[in-house]
Structure 1
Amino acid sequence: MTSRPTVVLVPSWGSGHFMSALEAGKRLLATGRGAFTLTVLVMHAPSEAMASEVQGHVRREAASGLDIRFLQLPAVEHPTGCVDPVEFASRYVQLHAPHVKAAIARLGPSSRVAAVVVDLFLTALFDVLHELTVPAYVYFASPAAFLALMLRLPALREDLTGAGFEAMESTVDVPGLPPVPPSYMPACLVKAKIQSYDWFEYHGRRFMEARGVIVNTSVELESSILAAIADGQCVPGRPAPALHAIGPVAWFGSTDDQQPHECVRWLDAQPPASVVFLCFGSMGSLDAAQVREVAAGLERSGHRFLWVLRGPPVAGTRLPTDADLDEVLPEGFLEATAGRGLVWPAWAPQREILSHAAVGGFVTHCGWNSILESLWSGVPMIPWPLYGEQHLNAFELVAGVGAAVALEMDRRKGFFVEAAELERAVRSLMGGASEEGRKARRTAAETSAACREAVGEGGSSCAALQRLVREILVSPTEGNDSR
């Protein structure tokens, strides 16, 4: 009896990347209907906090009964002399290449490797995949707009001065998007992080070697951008990699908790669509001055709110701590907002909160996973980008998707937002008088329906998954580019 082939998934260790890639792998499994298994190669996360998160995900999924095998790769030394997280991650992955090669080679005698899917920051592994002559795919957990930009980076470099994007007087051409103001270029690509630009450009070039790029988006969300990439507008003169838009990829199931979270219980007592939810992601925290402005803006807005307020990061990591509310909040704020506001100082179940009927708006850092969760639930947003590609996501959310009310911020002061501006944006989104808010709410509801249709039977993302599975199974080596 011939053993079934396996698809090998190599995710990044960051929780958002890891879980998104794993969910995409599970969708491949379900679409394949038992035609192959899934093997996940797990790298040691570079910090104890991240390692604990990853191992928690692995334990939960290993016990799920699905046809997934997890293989822990040997630990490697941390690279030294890195100036930013992107350079560290890229060089850290390079050190894993021999272990990835050995793990895949060992699978050969018992299980044919039909394809290897790597995270967008793991393209350095392409060298060993080409040596092994296995088809290589990229899993792109961010939106297609950022993929288009990464493919365009070599050409854009020619237009930059030494000061980088922030000194440009003209807009930036990202195919498929309206002209992008330089201020909305990703924070990871500004002048002070030129090493990041180099590494993002490196990965963008290597995407062209992949047999395909699996993107966490849908035709309904980013049709013009996907079409522009496919038409070769990002890298003129070269065929674009095949695109597989299978999103939204996120986990929308129920939790295993017996009792509802305290935040959810509080929401149960609030009127429908009355609460604005503020949460800044797994690495988002605000300094003391910004906390004071947020508190003042929320108090003056008069609207109900649920604010997930985290403390400063753990020493040596980017992960926030639980906040001491008595220490960080302005005196009298909790008393003044009692009954209409809840400030939560620790982790909160964002997906459950966004799907709650009481939530009518979301102030978000614009991580793509958070945006997709909000759109899935039909919740309009106020974008407050902080790091990574989030500024480009914020631009697309307002100018492209249209499910958000723009928020003005002072980028010279670390994306600082004044109390009056937050108050204006919350009133616009949550009140009934603003046409901007009405449009955002209407668009969010329409986008929610489109996202659900895309992943349902016969939807565009469902069809893309089916085509991808056929491609993986029919010819495991044809089309692999070993340039």
Structure 2
Amino acid sequence: METEKVNLVFLPSPGMGHVISTVEMAQLLCFRSPRISITVFTMRHHRKPSLTSLTSSYISSITSPNITFIDLPYPSDFHVDPTQNGETIISLYIQSHIPLIKQSIQNLNRPISAIIMDLFSTTLIDLADDFGVPAYVFFTSCASFLGLMLHLPSFHGTDFMDMKKDGLAVPTLPVKLDPLALPSPMLDKTNDAYEWYMYHGRRFKDLRGVIVNSFVEVESHASNSLSAARAPPVFMVGPIIDVHPRRQERRHECMEWLDGQPKNSVVFLCFGSMGAVSAEQAKEIARALEGCGYGFLWAVRVHDKVERFGLSLEADADAEMESLFPEGFVERTGKRGMVLKGWVPQKEILAHPATGGFMTHCGWNSILEGVWFGVPMLAWPMYAEQRFNAVLVTEVVGVAVGMELDYGGNGGVVKAEEVERGIRYLMEDGRVRERVGEMSGVSRRVGVDGGSSFAEVGRLVEEIMGERMNGKAS
């Protein structure tokens, strides 16, 4: 008699970082229990079609027999309001999928045991209630930020900027936080994006559990704080990252260039799939790279509409590469540097022995990859919770160094002298390199038998199976 399957539904946000880590989590659960079968509902990106294409390409590379993908159509009644903040748009966009998701689950024609959603998807908790199944969130950021979101309702009525002098105490951080390191919408309580952060923070307490893409050893303070708090159960199962290179028709040209560079000699600059700098900022970065003397590999993304520490969802500017830099920059640095526009194989670059430093926007997936491959990081946060992440990795974990960045928005551009200082510190500070090397070893051990994350995944599987056995599935 065939063993009955335990069917789970995963609902990631449409961003690549969310989709990849969610699918990797799904594969891990299927690996740990052959009884688990997972359906992943993917949403089309609401503002950037090229990201939808990247998602489709990634999904086509997945061959797990127990994972099925269903591409949801774009909701006919949803329209992006460009005046709204990103957190508002994504929350409303996901909410608009409820009828589509409900119908798609009914079309599965099999009972489901749980719905696992994204951190901006808590409007779907009521949908899980309709099906009589528990709801979990797969939290694709750090456990420390989860603690902030859970605690946010208790801060309501408080002006965060009043805490700037003494610092803001967040239970999951062992250091005081400059309020300007919070996501920008949290500083404006009249903003609807702030209300959405509040909403999600309140709804987390209605969940059966939160699955966090982090591990106890990298966030021990947050782990202890969350365990002691009256919060939903937390499963720290990370690092969940796609560290296996995908098969490609040919090796990327930058990899051949890296092959010819000395060990730990190259600084890699990359600000994620949605981060961009202005043309003026690009010139300052170029001057810093020329002045520091180190080898560099720079994934350039420039847009003329990008704001300070900005998020760009528009098409890339069509400016010629040479016009972005000081005159003669490419010629003068051609032997020790390489500039690329567009997609680059970040994991493969970080894994290469020539890569000695990583200037990053502090997206959580990128931080986990930097730790996994043992590459010290230079924190240049841009949007969302990345400023918060930067505090964690520089002041608490010690795997990154910081720069003097004007979070208040005055001054606009980080000058070449400060960028160069940061690069030199990154490449020359042996303490950070030693620390990230230690954490790299830890990150590779926690997911194997005997490791903390291995045990957390086992605990999660047991709970999901228990829900099924107790007859609580739809």
Deviation, 1:452, is 0.3
TM norm structure 1: 0.90
1:40 counterpart letter in structure 2: V
| Aligned pairs for 1:386-465 within 5 A | 386-411=382-407, 412-413=409-410, 416-431=413-428, 437-465=429-457
1:408 counterpart letter in structure 2: E
Mean Cα deviation higher: 149-158 or 358-367: 149-158
Q: What's the % identity of the aligned pairs?
A: 39
CA distance in 2, matches of 1:137, 1:299: 48
Structure 2 vs 1, CA of residues 246 and 157 (structure 1 numbering), >3 Å: closer, same or farther? same
- Give secondary structure in 2 for the equivalent of 1:277: strand
Give the corresponding residue for 1:434: none
CA distance in 1, matches of 2:43, 2:250: 33
Deviation, 1:464, is 0.6
Total equivalences in the alignment: 462
2:326 counterpart letter in structure 1: P
CA distance in 1, matches of 2:146, 2:245: 31
Contact 1:409/1:418 (8 A) holds in 2: no
Contact 1:454/1:462 (8 A) holds in 2: yes
CA distance in 1, matches of 2:189, 2:338: 38
1:44 counterpart letter in structure 2: R
- Give secondary structure in 2 for the equivalent of 1:312: coil
Give the corresponding residue for 1:42: 42
Give the corresponding residue for 1:22: 23
Deviation, 1:240, is 0.9
Structure 2 vs 1, CA of residues 321 and 461 (structure 1 numbering), >3 Å: closer, same or farther? farther
Deviation, 1:322, is 7.0
Answering whether residue 321 of structure 2 is matched by residue 330 of structure 1, we say: no
Structure 2 vs 1, CA of residues 10 and 155 (structure 1 numbering), >3 Å: closer, same or farther? same
Answering whether residue 307 of structure 2 is matched by residue 310 of structure 1, we say: no
CA distance in 1, matches of 2:148, 2:441: 28
Contact 2:245/2:347 (8 A) holds in 1: no
- Give secondary structure in 1 for the equivalent of 2:149: helix
Structure 2 vs 1, CA of residues 345 and 79 (structure 1 numbering), >3 Å: closer, same or farther? closer
Structure 2 vs 1, CA of residues 313 and 415 (structure 1 numbering), >3 Å: closer, same or farther? closer
- Give secondary structure in 2 for the equivalent of 1:147: helix
Equivalent of 1:200 in 197, 201, 215: 197
Equivalent of 2:360 in 356, 359, 364: 364
Contact 2:143/2:212 (8 A) holds in 1: yes
Structure 2 vs 1, CA of residues 104 and 165 (structure 1 numbering), >3 Å: closer, same or farther? farther
Residue by residue over 1:345-386, the C-alpha shift from the partner in whole angstroms, topping out at 9 and shown as x without a partner, is 221111100010001111110000111111000000110000
Unaligned 5+ runs, structure 2: 307-311
Contact 1:165/1:182 (8 A) holds in 2: yes
Give the corresponding residue for 1:277: 268
Give the corresponding residue for 1:98: 99
CA distance in 2, matches of 1:367, 1:406: 15
- Give secondary structure in 1 for the equivalent of 2:89: helix
Equivalent of 1:211 in 208, 216, 234: 208
CA distance in 1, matches of 2:342, 2:84: 30
Answering whether residue 372 of structure 2 is matched by residue 381 of structure 1, we say: no
Mean Cα deviation higher: 401-410 or 165-174: 165-174
2:177 counterpart letter in structure 1: V
Contact 1:247/1:455 (8 A) holds in 2: yes
Structure 2 vs 1, CA of residues 351 and 146 (structure 1 numbering), >3 Å: closer, same or farther? same
Deviation, 1:314, is 9.8
Deviation, 1:166, is 7.9
2:431 counterpart letter in structure 1: K
CA distance in 2, matches of 1:370, 1:317: 19
CA distance in 2, matches of 1:440, 1:55: 37
Give the corresponding residue for 1:268: 259
2:30 counterpart letter in structure 1: L
Answering whether residue 78 of structure 2 is matched by residue 78 of structure 1, we say: yes
CA distance in 2, matches of 1:340, 1:409: 27
Mean Cα deviation higher: 464-473 or 71-80: 71-80
Residue by residue over 1:106-164, the C-alpha shift from the partner in whole angstroms, topping out at 9 and shown as x without a partner, is 33x5x33121100111110111111211011000000111111111111122321xxx5
| Aligned pairs for 1:347-358 within 5 A | 347-358=343-354
Contact 1:323/1:346 (8 A) holds in 2: no
Unaligned 5+ runs, structure 1: 233-238, 432-436
Contact 2:361/2:382 (8 A) holds in 1: yes
2:151 counterpart letter in structure 1: R
CA distance in 2, matches of 1:193, 1:14: 27
1:457 counterpart letter in structure 2: D
Q: Compute the RMSD of aligned alpha carbons.
A: 2.3
Give the corresponding residue for 1:475: 467
CA distance in 2, matches of 1:43, 1:16: 13
TM norm structure 2: 0.92
- Give secondary structure in 2 for the equivalent of 1:430: helix
2:156 counterpart letter in structure 1: R
Deviation, 1:80, is 5.4
